[in-house]
Chains A and B, each alone.
Chain A
Amino acid sequence: MRLSTVFAAASVMALAAGGQALAGPTFDAVREKGFVQCGVNGSGLPGFASVDDKGEWSGLDIDLCKAVAAAVFGDASKVKYTPLTAKERFTALQSGEIDMLSRNTTWTLTRDTALGLDFVGVNYYDGQGFMVPKSLGVKSALELDGASVCVQTGTTTELNLADFFRANNMSYEPVVFETNDELIGAFQAGRCDVFTTDQSGLYSSRTKFENPDDFVVLPEVISKEPLGPVVRHGDNEWGDVVRWSLYAMIEAEEYGVTSENVDELKANSTNPTVRRLLGVEGEFGKALGLPADWAYQIIKQIGNYGESFERNLGENTPLKIKRGLNDLWTRGGLQYAMPFR
């Protein structure tokens, strides 16, 4: 094991040179290879993760991958993406194929424990909904007895669906697809009456439809779907980096730090929280094993949480999603960063 000795020596030297804290296996490996391998949505979920014709990825989930790269390397472009289906995602993370998963993934007890994973935050609070063709004339999910329902495998969605119909004493025919694109194809062809997934997924998928206006989302939200980034269980140092990268974006929004004013605030702000966030005061970078300006780099290159939300999902996008639960706690939402102290 000559090689690991070399690595160990290298990290000891790095420790001596940069005064960095000892980091866990993934963190070390990421620094070593020089980029973050981020698992993202494979079919493309516009607004969350999709790739354009130049091969550039964008979306709320993508911004989180970039934020981590900005924090670690000071360069948001140091990310490589692995597109994954719902079914593949956990194995990819467990096996070490990816460093982190940022793919509209619901935080559940089983996944957080028995699957050997750790959720480190919530970047989008969601809930499961139903979409039907307008022509069906259905107004409520409770009228769906006997319907045939298109659903994606390997999701919380298929479990909630089974629970919901059973709890309401209704029958249904599940038609279970492996990818969202196949599902959308079958749904539009009329194979099923109902398409169910996270509401964000419904709105996002609808932008891909041929006739989006022919479909409505029913009012019922049948589950809690807190979607967030995931790392391997026991990978605490790396988990901290991902968690605090997300918090930095939320904290920045709360304190009015944006990609536009961040330079000015870094130079002139007297607000102690802002000064700590931007690395002017305190040694938070060192505690995380990151450069002092880690959060500055995130905000400068990606923007705060609100900016990312507006850019990817907001009024000026085809999705037009309201902040709702994803507004800051100070405005009645659930987004809340732990204190930068």
Chain B
Amino acid sequence: MAAAAPRPGGGRRTVFWNDPRVRAIFAQTVVLLLVIAGVAYLVNNTIANRERLGVASGFDFLRQVAGFDISQTLIDYDRTFSYGRAFVVGLINTFYVAVVGIVLATVIGFLMGVARLSSNWLVAKVADAYVEIVRNIPLLLQLIVWYFVVLAGLPAPRESIALGEGAFLNIRGLFLPKPVFGEGTAIFLAAVGLAVIAVIVLGRWARRRFEATGQPFPVFWTALAILLAVPALGYLLAGMPISFEYPKLGKFRISGGLVMLPEFMAMVAGLSIYTGAFIAEIVRAGILAIPKGQWEAAQALGLSRGQTLRLIIIPQALRVIIPPQTSQYLNLTKNSSLGVAIAYPDFFNVAGTINNQTGQAVEVIAITMAVYLSLSLTISAFMNWYNARMALVER
């Protein structure tokens, strides 16, 4: 019908309940009220139920003594510390495994993504197989295989596999010499700092010169030389301040040195290999998204395949890659909560223990949700910043 045509002369105003704007506002108000009532009902119900049961409430428990120990603590902690501290220990463990996992997953993903596009048949097929197999097996299963099959097959402490001077591997973990920083370490650290600054300055200067004159400078090799020579010199000048503490085999376990627990290794292996497969696909898609003309143009300019990838293709592909990459990093971080299945004391695991020992499920779950939300938002914020930077580089 042609009723939509405006009536000449403004016409009669519709009754207000027929006015779509009024209707929309009315509907929204009703929905909002229903939501508020629903939430209020739930909150009320929860409070009333918990009161009836006499369940403790509030966040005072955070200051109480935790009473349990945690296997991997990167900050000071034992059973006499508070529940609050135990949460922090768990958070740091989550952070630790997520950061190491993200770095490794990115390396694996880039290598495999590029390998899938390789003209070498074998390389491409191996990468294909990796992606297809790993992507299609649930992560939990992979973690369990890593922990209960692969790592559980390692020898007992007495039959440790020696990995060169003072480092060995057995079912209790990977044991490495631990650096002990003696007097004069400051001088050495200053030398390291100096070298890093020098390299940054060099890089800037080389780029500016390249843009101005078109003359390339061997930045990589010069930087490497600076990074090796300056700290070495500083180390000698300071009188060799760093010594190593070697792990020693005791009655039960190995004491001293640096330890990487098998739970941690299984988590890192599982998370990075699993996520790496997804990243490989993203990288492949990102590279394929760059029009063929770019390759041909680069070729026409006389760039090698490696140079083309490094200077032309990857910088452009990154724009396509980074957004989905961000969600892979978020997935990896959230997936680290599967640590509970293989005794890795990540945040979720420790929170579960605290929940059980205090019975304050509502508070513990609220804290857990807030923590994972903040972790995710932090990673997103960082990746958005990186994305913005990358977008600028492209002209």
Contacts and interface: CB of A to CB of B under 8 A. Distances in A.
Contact of B352 (A87, A147, A158): A87
Contacts, number: 127
Interface stretch (B63-71, B100-108, B280-288): B63-71
Contacts of A144: 252
A181 to B, nearest CB: 10
B253 interface: yes
Nearest to A177: B343
28 contacts: A90-B356, A91-B361, A110-B359, A111-B359, A115-B358, A115-B359, A116-B50, A116-B54, A144-B252, A146-B255, A147-B252, A147-B253, A148-B252, A148-B253, A159-B68, A162-B69, A166-B79, A172-B69, A176-B71, A176-B343, A176-B345, A176-B353, A178-B341, A186-B148, A189-B148, A233-B53, A233-B54, A234-B52
Contacts of B78: 162, 166
Contacts of B29: none
Contacts of A172: 69
A232 B53 CA distance: 7
Closest 5 CB pairs of A and B: A116-B53, A115-B359, A154-B356, A116-B55, A189-B152
Nearest to A137: B251
Contacts of A114: 54-56, 358-359
A175 interface: yes
B116 interface: no
Nearest to B50: A116
Contacts of A174: 68-71
A162 B67 contact: yes
B380 interface: no
B171 A190 contact: yes
Which residue among B253, B263, B357, B361 has the maximum number of chain A CB atoms within 10 Å of its CB? Answer: B357
B85 interface: no
Residue among A111, A161, A190 with the most chain B CB within 10 A?
A190
B357 A159 contact: yes
Interface in B14-72: 50, 52-56, 67-71
Contact of A163 (B56, B79, B252): B79
Count class of interface residues, chain B = 35 or more
A189 B69 contact: no
A315 interface: no
B262 interface: yes
Nearest to A159: B67
A90 B343 contact: no
Interface string A81-104: 000001100110010000000000
Interface of B: 50, 52-56, 67-71, 78-80, 148, 152-153, 156, 171-172, 250-253, 255, 262-263, 340-343, 345, 349, 352-353, 355-359, 361
Interface residues on A, range: 35 or more
A176 B72 CA distance: 11
A162 B343 contact: no
B152 A87 contact: no
Given A163-B67, A174-B70, A190-B156, A234 B53 contact: yes
A113 to B, nearest CB: 7
B59 to A, nearest CB: 14
In this complex, the member of B252, B345, B355, B359 whose beta carbon has the largest number of chain A beta carbons within 10 angstroms is B252
A79 to B, nearest CB: 23
Contacts of B52: 233-234
Nearest to A155: B356
B341 A182 contact: yes
B185 to A, nearest CB: 28
B16 to A, nearest CB: 36
A39 to B, nearest CB: 14
A5 B262 CA distance: 59
A153 B353 contact: yes
A91 B359 CA distance: 7
Contacts of A145: 251-252
Contact of A115 (B55, B67, B341, B342): B55
Nearest to A192: B172
B67 A173 contact: no
Contacts of A233: 52-55
A147 B69 CA distance: 14
A18 interface: no
A191 B67 contact: no
A185 interface: yes
